[in-house]
Amino acid sequence: MKPMAPYLAVLAADFYLLPLLIRGTGSAMLFLLAVMPLAAFAAAVHYGTRQGFRPWLSIAALALFLPTTLLYYNASAWVYGVFYALTVLAGTGLGRLFLGKR
């Protein structure tokens, strides 16, 4: 859990702080479909290059995002949590490819 802590902090900032910048529907779609997934993917790739492929970060991303559906969005936004979890899973998989190449 300790090696995952900085990446969890990045994901928490991604899911809990970035929505504070949303103003209107257009910016919400930009953040939900581009900015937040890109930040999660970048953190996951970096994690994968350091720790290899581990699905725990993806599960943690889902667990971190789900409370935000009620804080910032509505209950129908839970599907974004699955999208972010799969994005993080793909990022750790891609990062795993570069694990031994530093």
pLDDT band, residue 42 (cuts 50/70/90): very high
What is the arithmetic mean of pLDDT over 50-71?
94
For residue 101, the model assigns a pLDDT of 66
pTM: 0.92
More confident of the two residues 98 and 59: 59
Number of residues assigned to the chain: 102
Residue type, 68: T
**What does the block give as tokens for 18?**
């970035």
pLDDT band, residue 98 (cuts 50/70/90): confident
What is the arithmetic mean of pLDDT over 25-47?
95
CA 80, chain centre distance (Å): 10
Nearest to 66 by CA among 10, 7, 18, 12: 12
